[in-house]
Amino acid sequence: ELKRLGRGYFLFYRKELASRQRRRMDLAFDVLSAGDNNELRLAYQPVVSVKDGRVESLEALLRWSHPRFGNVPPEEFIPLVEESAAINTLGAWVLNRACSDAMRWQAGEGRLPGVAVNVSVIQLRDPLFVQRVADILSQTGLPPSRLDLEVTETVFEPDNAERISLSLAALSAMGIHIHVDDFGTGYSSLSRLHALPIDAIKIDRSFVAGLDTGATAIIEGAILIARRFGLTTIAEGVETLSQAAALHRLGVDRLQGYFICHPQAAARLMPVAPDWLELPGSLLVGAPQEN
Ligand code: C2E
Ligand code: MG
Ligand code: MG
Ligand code: MG
């Protein structure tokens, strides 16, 4: 009896494993033609200034609508693509599209918002990456100062040091802003944070969620470090008014999250950037509350 159950379970497990493996293989293969097949698009999520509610930039988030699997989240397919050189092609597609979209945004008044593009550490290791970015900027006409590249803390890992600091230095010298994404979740080295040309840190949304239980220490620490190094602070994953108010009180510079605005299709943004956004008044006016 047990033996039969065991074997049944084993068969089920093998089938499950096989179909998961199958999906991974299909996705890794199909993504190569996804761009040409019109299955990829970018959604944009604003990052706003706490000071005045201005849209500082819009982050491009990759969306893939697979003909059989439907919407596949980037957290599932990006790691698959990172296992091959395909990430370089996909990354170039994203950059190209994001920069040309950003060229179509119109400002009511004041500065145009920048566009933030997520970049894999594999792309940064590619010796051709910097030139590719320069080419895309000149082809689309986007000023480098309107481009933010979001990198993760993997750029701080010692085995990446050489190549990556060269690339980041070149990109920064062009006037592009370098932002560290998901700050606090990975390998952080204060000396590297200081040595590399970093402009901003994006405090990971897990710490923002922690505010609900009064866990402020990590965010306070991150803000302190950022101030000392002259970096801008951005909080990601802000979902509630109370989180936004707490971040405001702690002195974060910029906010991003569902509370402010969900990621939107590019077409919906065009006529409205940068001042369509309505922030709750409590965030816009007055000095930070005392606590
Ligand atoms: P990320 O760069 O940290 O982007 C933030 C993710 O959080 C996005 O998920 C966004 O939709 C989601 N998000 C935004 N506001 C909130 C909120 O208030 N609450 C919660 N729970 N989530 C929120 P998405 O679009 O699924 O992207 C996931 C990750 O995939 C990104 O994390 C980024 O690491 C990666 N990714 C997305 N697009 C690209 C790309 O073009 N290239 C590369 N290399 N990676 C990308
Ligand atoms: Mg990001
Ligand atoms: Mg992020
Ligand atoms: Mg994140």
Instruction: Supply the pLDDT for residue 8.
Output: 64
Who wins on pLDDT, 167 or 271? Answer: 167
Residue 109 reports pLDDT greater than 80 = no
Handedness of CA 137, 141, 145, 148 (dihedral sign): negative
Residue 281 reports pLDDT greater than 80 = no
Rounded (10°) angle between helices 2-34 and 74-81 = 80
The CA 109 to ligand 2 mean position distance, Å, reads 27
Residue 195 reports pLDDT greater than 60 = yes
Residue 6 reports pLDDT greater than 80 = no
Q: How confident is the model over 55-91, as pLDDT tens digits?
A: 899 999 999 999 999 999 999 999 999 988 899 999 9
Alpha carbon nearest to ligand 1 atom 22, residue: 237
The Cα 28–Cα 243 span in angstroms is: 38
The CA 186 to ligand 1 mean position distance, Å, reads 16
Q: How confident is the model at residue 274 (pLDDT cuts 50, 70, 90)?
A: very low
List all residues whose CB is within 6 A of at least one atom of ligand 1.
45, 61-62, 73-75, 78, 94, 118-120, 150, 181-182, 205, 236-239, 257-258, 263
Please report which helix (H) or strand (E) contains residue 39, including its range.
none
CA of 44, nearest ligand number: 1
Residue 100 reports pLDDT greater than 60 = yes
Q: How far is Cα of residue 191 from the mean position of the Cα atoms in its chain?
A: 23
Instruction: Supply the pLDDT for residue 104.
Output: 87
Instruction: Supply the pLDDT for residue 288.
Output: 31
Find the largest Cα–Cα distance for the chain. 75
**Pocket-testing residue among 77, 118, 201, ligand 1, by greatest number of atoms within 8 A of Cβ:** 118
Mean pLDDT for all residues in the chain: 87
| Contact present, 145 and 88 (Cβ < 8 Å) | no
Q: How confident is the model over 115-146, as pLDDT tens digits?
A: 999 999 999 999 999 999 999 999 999 999 99
Instruction: Supply the pLDDT for residue 276.
Output: 40
Alpha carbon nearest to ligand 1 atom 21, residue: 237
Global pTM reads 0.90
The CA 61 to ligand 1 mean position distance, Å, reads 6
Q: How confident is the model at residue 5 (pLDDT cuts 50, 70, 90)?
A: low
Instruction: Supply the pLDDT for residue 84.
Output: 85
Residue 108 reports pLDDT greater than 70 = no
- Residues of the chain with pLDDT > 90: what percent? 63
> Which atom of ligand 1 lies nearest, measured to the CA of 94?
41
The CA 15 to ligand 1 mean position distance, Å, reads 31
Residue 158 reports pLDDT greater than 90 = no
> Which atom of ligand 1 lies nearest, measured to the CA of 75?
30
Instruction: Supply the pLDDT for residue 10.
Output: 64
| Contact present, 95 and 130 (Cβ < 8 Å) | no
CA of 263, nearest ligand number: 1
Which ipTM value was assigned to this complex?
Answer: 0.98
